[in-house]
Amino acid sequence: MQGRIIREVAGFYYVYSEETGETVQCRAKGIFRKKGLRPSVGDIVEYSLTNTEDVEGSVDEILPRKNSLGRPPVANVDQVLIVFAGKNPEPNFLLCDKFLIMLDEKEIPAALCFNKADITEEAAIGHFAEIYEKAGYPVFVTSAKLGEGKEALTEFLDGKLTAFAGPSGVGKSSLMNLISGTDAAETGEVSKKTGQGKQTTRASAIYVAGPSTYIIDTPGFGSLDLSGIEKEDLFLSFPEMTSLAGKCRFSSCAHLKEPGCAVKEAVEAGAIAKERYENYCSIYEELAAQRKY
């Protein structure tokens, strides 16, 4: 039988079958450890029923993955929705752009969601959305508390496996509950002392939101490692910059201080968001510094 792993708890894998609509608690065969393999949430697997005392089934085979992420740890996602709050906590655009770069490297489509529109100034959240709309990403503005933006977001998620990713406290679990129509995901509040979200999601878990529609609720992330990316290739992960490839005065232009740079001209003209360009420069310098060691 074939199914999808929707969560892992203490070495147990919970496999959901679209055919039966049932979830089976399984153990993974020992052969996976010998091969250095570990099933992940999102994996499509072959499983069999054992009906033993402590488990109902056994994960026998992991089918080939089309992609996988180590952070959050999930497999076979169709797209990722990066969720930030418009306020409380404030959005971290540098972290957002690093995550977008990582997804671009893995060729996984990404979209942005700015939640908590009910407590964010309209001009501010509109500006946040504009930054990434200019870059060519789908952007959604929502309020999980009031149900705003649910229809557009539901349409975007339909028929796909979507991982919700972002820092703690931005409302990922609340949004997931809104879309799926359940209260299955535990929600939390933002610490008044630190301004940071309190971690409520301890491990990735998939929720069925409709026919062939799955949402992965993932633990919040606080940092990302981009050490595997060459600084010369960084601009390729910025869609609004790649459209200007070959238009700079110098073919080796790094888009930093060189004269006749089409990217810098686009920033000055407002075609590229200043915030995105500043993050590009910051990440470029970070990658350059890493190469020295």
Reduce the secondary structure of 154-175 to three states and give it as a string.
Answer: HHHHCCCEEEEECCCCCCHHHH
Separation between Cα atoms, residue 143 and residue 174, nearest integer Å: 9
Sign of CA dihedral 226, 231, 232, 237: positive
Sign of CA dihedral 139, 222, 219, 290: positive
pLDDT value, residue 184: 59
Separation between Cα atoms, residue 29 and residue 43, nearest integer Å: 15
Contact 62, 39 (CB under 8 A): yes
Residue 76, judged by CB atoms within 10 A of its CB (0-12, 13-18, 19+), counts as buried
Closest CA to 60 of 7, 15, 10: 15
Helix (H) or strand (E) holding 110: strand 110-115
> What does each C-alpha distance from 118 to 121, 179, 186 come to in angstroms?
8, 17, 21
Separation between Cα atoms, residue 290 and residue 285, nearest integer Å: 9
pLDDT value, residue 183: 65
Separation between Cα atoms, residue 88 and residue 258, nearest integer Å: 38
pLDDT value, residue 209: 86
Structure token digits, residue 277 = 């360009």
Angle between helices 93-105 and 274-291 (to 10 degrees): 70
pLDDT value, residue 220: 63
Contact 190, 158 (CB under 8 A): no
Task: Give the chain's residues under pLDDT 50.
Answer: 186-201
pLDDT value, residue 196: 39
Separation between Cα atoms, residue 92 and residue 291, nearest integer Å: 25
Contact 109, 80 (CB under 8 A): yes
Pairing of strands 161-165, 139-141: unpaired
pTM for this predicted structure? 0.86
DSSP string, 191-227: -TTT--BPP---S-EEEEEETTEEEEE---------T
Separation between Cα atoms, residue 100 and residue 90, nearest integer Å: 18
